Structure 1
Amino acid sequence: MASARLAWTWALLAWTWTRAAAQYPVTMVTMIGGAAVSTSLDLVAIVILFTHMPVLGGLSAAQAGFLYGACQLSFTFSDVAVGSADRLGRHIRAGSLDTMLIRPVGPLVQLATEDFSPRKLGRLLPATTVLVWSILRLDLTPLDVLLTAVMVVNGAVLFGALWVLAASVQFVLVNGHEATKAVTWGGVFMAQHPMSLYGRDFMRALTFTIPLAFVNWQPSLYILGHPDPLGLPSFVRFLGPVVTAVLCLAAVLAWRAGLRRYTSTGS
């Protein structure tokens, strides 16, 4: 019940910002198009790579595109939902978090919808196009397509938990906004490429420390029928929801601990 109420409040606040942006339709469409174009630049780099080599990290162009599209979709959904939460440090420095705490809506929901902009949705277009193209090229079964949908949703929730954890760190490191981006924005950059490109120690870190491998890499190994470079047991490919649940619990505990620790700036 509480989760449904929070979701409804988030949707209402997001719609309010969207309706305000729609008062200037040309600007809104231009910004959405700009977001789509800017997101496509990473894709252009991948395309250029595959014009010079048929395989990247042991994956074909369609397989690499599958990883890219799924990762970008997951990250965009999470960024739309809670990406603005990383502004927490700014509110702590300005003392405006105090105002949020006395409002009838939770501070996390307020942060997540702050200055909500539909331009972020523009990033969905290139990601969806690449993912659909890859699925058609790979000739996946209906079960594989269903697992892909589950992977995208699970990845979005996992990234969302990382956003909240990164925001929670700013209760302690008020000026840690840029440092936490290494996990969020840096995370999507690492996860959108085949992890077989990285060294084994780095791959282990992305699996067992910051579990970005469960956004798309581990599930994709099963869907694409690709062997695990680390030689991990096959059941690891299905641990994504478990890892995400643990990460969500850690995010909730970290956020609540941060709120308890917060003593106001006095301004």
Structure 2
Amino acid sequence: MARTYFLLLWTWTRAAAAYRASFTLMTVLGFVLAGLDVAVILVIFSNTTTLAGFSRDEVLFLYGAASLSFNICDTFVSNIDRISQHIKAGTLDTVLIRPVSAWIQLTTDRFNANRAGRIVQAAVVLGYGIAAVDVDWRRAWMIPVMVITGIVIFSALWTLGGALQFVLTDAPEVASSFTYGSNQLNQYPLSIYGRDLVKGVTYVLPLAFVNWQPGLYVLDRADPFGTPEFMRFAGPAAALVLSLLAGLAWRQGIRHYRSTGS
């Protein structure tokens, strides 16, 4: 299965790389455009020294962790959004009769390797944040766990969004509000939001485990909302539960899909 997935990715990448100048330009442009979010953070801190009690470097650390997870998923999973187009066009029937997982086919559909520039940008910001906040090496083990947890959570959200299209058919914006909207929410400390919202993204939709809860552990910071200490380590469990729910929803969507007959 993994071999098939990467073979499909390579096929689309090779096709895009045939136009080298365009491929390189779009990759660099992705890096630059992703930097606009960092520019906004820098503008904010040109007028203040802290944001909800967090320094500039701490905010950049949280931003880098969330953005790295998100951009990896945006590159390798987000094309599942196209499922609504396949349902309307009737081409999903072709996907389903192939001897390859429909999820793999749809996530690699029109794979765009140019988005790699965004991944590099997020990794650079995260690397800077780690160095700038002088992370205690005894807590540094949480950083890769945090990134992997974020990847699983965002992948599950995209999968849930894809499954939702079997019901809504023509509302990809609804799914995007949970994926791209979640990324925007996680770019800043959750302490800037209201208590009820933070409870919702902790106990209902586990976005707080992308970078907030594990980030508090890495930074050795207390939770302004008084969340129990053990929640700093609950990210993998929350990601597992969400991914299982996403997998169930996806299988139900595939099982109850009815061909357009075209």
Task: Calculate the aligned-residue CA RMSD, in Å.
Answer: 1.0
Letter in 2 for 1:25: R
Mapped to 2, the partners of 1:154 and 1:93 lie a distance apart of 33
Secondary structure in 2 matching 1:87: helix
Partner of 2:246: 251
Answer yes or no: is 1:154 the counterpart of 2:176. Answer: no
- Following TM superposition, by how much is the alpha carbon of 1:46 offset from its aligned partner in structure 2, in angstroms? 0.5
1:135 to 127, 130, 137: 130
1:163 corresponds to which residue?
158
Q: What does residue range 57-206 of structure 1 map to in structure 2 within 5 Å?
A: 57-206=52-201
Distance 1:81 1:143, change over 3 A: farther
- Code of the residue aligned with 1:119 in structure 2: it is N
Aligned-partner residue type, residue 235 of structure 2:
G
1:203-218 equivalent positions in 2, closer than 5 A: 203-218=198-213
Shift of 1:146: 2.4
Q: CA–CA distance in 2 between the matches of 1:199 and 1:37?
A: 32
The number of residues matched between the two structures is: 262
Q: Which moved more, 1:62-71 or 1:128-137?
A: 128-137
TM-score under structure 1 normalisation? 0.96
Q: State which of 1, 10, 14 in structure 1 corresponds to 2:9.
A: 14
**Structure-2 residue corresponding to 1:3:** none
Identity of aligned residues (%): 45
Distance 1:15 1:47 in 2: 37
CA shift at 1:141, angstroms?
A: 2.6
- The whole-number CA distance in structure 1 between the counterparts of 2:180 and 2:208 is 15
Q: C-alpha separation between the residues in 1 aligned to 2:2 and 2:245?
A: 20
Distance 1:145 1:119 in 2: 30
Q: CA deviation at 1:62?
A: 0.7
- Offset of residue 145 of structure 1: 2.7
1:193-214 Cα deviation digits (max 9, x unpaired): 1100101111111111211101
Contact 2:136–2:218 (8 Å) recurs in 1? no
Uncovered stretches (5+) of structure 2, i.e. residues with no partner: none
Question: Is the 2:139–2:217 Cα contact (8 Å) retained in structure 1?
Answer: no
Letter in structure 2 aligned against 1:87: R
Question: Which amino acid is 1:252 matched to?
Answer: G
Aligned to 1:145, the other structure's residue is in SS state coil
Unaligned runs of 5+ in 1: 1-5
Runs of 4+ in 1 over 6 A off after TM superposition: none
Matched, 1:239 2:234: yes
CA distance in 2, matches of 1:53, 1:21: 43
Shift of 1:144: 2.8
CA positional deviation for 1:150 = 1.4
Letter in structure 2 aligned against 1:77: I
TM-score between both structures, scaled by the size of structure 2: 0.98
